[in-house]
């Protein structure tokens, strides 16, 4: 009886379009944010922060970006890792050319460079779609991966071809580099995720989001309704690539602390993010978090959780099991529950609304 809509009236357009219309949802979000900002940094070990929380926060923005493109607009992309790489290399060049500027600004600005590249490779989306668009974005992935290795200017002519994250401070506190505290990195990544998720939620719940979903459901009907297909699809590519670019910058500067040329942003990462979108749920913000959390936590649980309970397993075997589980679960969800783990969350909320009654 504690999760009911009764008595919560929507008397304005703003309240009707609110992201969290129920009071219980708003309270729940505040509790989650309090736990994330206070409890996790104080109670979680450095191992948990390094192996689970930081990669989760870095990759969830890329999952949200791909979900905007694929889940909300219906455009398939296999070049997510390439757009992440654009953001990482853009942030690296900007912070080396202008070291006096706060690196947090460059992490955000790097997304705009990725958005510009995404728009360029999104131009064919007006003429092609489906498998052909997937092949076009796959070509973008290979081209960008080639550029990261073959253009020395991108990595400042480093003989190793690697990105070396420099030490940067804010108010005297190191936020990037080898001396930056893991808790500081976590709080920075968390703030980026919270703010950008709030922005994405407002976009998809507004006029732009409805245009994307109209194009996804039937682009011809959307065009007859007055929606401009080229502008709508290019905007989806731009917003999606922006989120992927910021994710790539966080992935290198906050999580990894460096990146080798051509290895961190390969096609494997693009497929992992795509699987995270499918497992979490297409067209769902909460599903993006579920998918990213599952993809990040599963290898750690297998590698360290099973030996902790007495089941001996090597790292190589754990990697193979991870691939098998992700592949099998992806196929199962596509057949049985296309809306992924987000649908299970919706079912649980519906059960809570009528609990303790069975109907």
Q: Higher-confidence residue: 60 or 335?
A: 60
Per-residue confidence (pLDDT) for residue 95, from 0 to 100: 92
The listed range with the strongest mean pLDDT (18-22, 241-245, 252-256, 279-283) is 241-245
In a domain, 235, yes or no: yes
Domain annotation covers residue 29: no
Please report the pLDDT score of residue 316 as a whole number.
78
- With respect to residue 202, please indicate whether it lies within any of the assigned structural domains: yes
| Residue-wise DSSP of 245-282 | HHHHHHIIIIIISEE-TTTTTSHHHHHHHHHHHHHH-T
User: Residue 89 in contact with residue 155, Cβ under 8 Å?
Assistant: yes
Q: Which residue has the higher pLDDT, 208 or 158?
A: 208
* 49 inside domain: yes
Cα–Cα dist 351/343, whole Å:
12
3-class secondary-structure state, position 168: strand
Task: Tell me if 183 is assigned to some domain.
Answer: yes
Note whether residue 8 is domain-resident: no
Q: Which of 15-24, 244-253, 294-303 tops mean pLDDT?
A: 244-253
Mean of per-residue pLDDT scores for the chain:
88
The count of structural domains within the chain is: 1
186 vs 167, higher pLDDT: 186
User: What pTM value is reported for the model?
Assistant: 0.92
Q: Out of 118-122, 178-182, 316-320, pick the least confident.
A: 316-320
Contact 65, 87 (CB under 8 A): no
pLDDT of residue 320: 85
* DSSP class of 357: S
User: Cα(344)–Cα(326) distance, rounded to whole angstroms?
Assistant: 18
Q: How many helices (H) and strands (E) does the chain have?
A: 17, 4
| Domain containing residue 218 | 44-354
Burial class (CB in 10 A: 0-12, 13-18, 19+), 144: buried
Nearest CA-CA partner of 351 in 31, 3, 114, 78 = 3
Predicted confidence (pLDDT) per residue in 130-184, tens digit? 888 888 899 999 999 999 888 888 888 888 778 888 888 888 888 888 888 999 9
Q: How many CA atoms lie within 13 A of 234 on its CB side?
A: 13
Whether the per-residue pLDDT at 1 is higher than 60: the answer is: no
Classify residue 7: in a domain, yes or no.
no
Mean pLDDT of 252-281: 88
Tell whether 24 is covered by a domain. no
pLDDT at 214 over 70: yes
- CATH number of the domain at 251, please: 1.10.3470
């Amino acid at each position: 009886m504690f999760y009911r809509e009764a008595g919560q009236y929507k008397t304005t357009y703003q309240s009707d379009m609110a992201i969290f219309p129920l009071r219980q949802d708003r309270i729940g979000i505040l509790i989650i944010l309090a736990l994330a900002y206070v409890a996790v940094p104080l109670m979680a070990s450095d191992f948990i922060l390094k192996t689970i929380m930081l990669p989760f926060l870095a990759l969830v923005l890329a999952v949200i970006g791909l979900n905007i493109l694929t889940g909300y607009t219906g455009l398939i992309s296999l070049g997510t890792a390439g757009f992440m790489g654009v953001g990482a290399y853009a942030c690296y060049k900007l912070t080396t050319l202008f070291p006096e500027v706060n690196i947090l600004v460059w992490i955000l600005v790097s997304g705009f460079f990725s958005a510009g590249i995404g728009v360029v490779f999104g131009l064919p989306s007006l003429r092609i779609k489906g498998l052909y668009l997937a092949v076009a974005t796959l070509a973008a992935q290979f081209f960008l991966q080639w550029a990261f290795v073959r253009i020395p200017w991108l990595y400042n002519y480093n003989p190793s071809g690697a990105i070396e994250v420099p030490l940067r401070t804010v108010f005297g506190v190191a936020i990037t580099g080898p001396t930056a505290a893991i808790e500081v990195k976590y709080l920075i990544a968390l703030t980026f995720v919270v703010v950008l998720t709030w922005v994405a939620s407002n976009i998809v719940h507004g006029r732009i989001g409805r245009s994307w979903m109209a194009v996804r459901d039937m682009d011809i009907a959307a065009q007859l309704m007055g929606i401009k297909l080229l502008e709508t699809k290019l905007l989806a590519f731009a917003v999606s690539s922006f989120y992927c670019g910021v994710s790539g910058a966080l992935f290198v500067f906050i999580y990894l602390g460096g990146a080798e040329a051509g290895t961190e942003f390969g096609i494997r990462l693009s497929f992992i993010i795509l699987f995270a979108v499918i497992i979490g749920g297409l067209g769902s913000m909460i599903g993006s978090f579920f998918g990213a959390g599952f993809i990040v936590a599963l290898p750690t649980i297998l590698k360290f959780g099973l030996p902790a309970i007495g089941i001996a397993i090597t790292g190589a075997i754990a990697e193979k099991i991870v691939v098998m589980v992700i592949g099998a679960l992806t196929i199962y969800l596509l057949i049985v529950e296309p809306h992924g783990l987000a649908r299970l969350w919706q079912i649980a909320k519906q059960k809570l609304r009528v609990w303790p009654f069975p109907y």
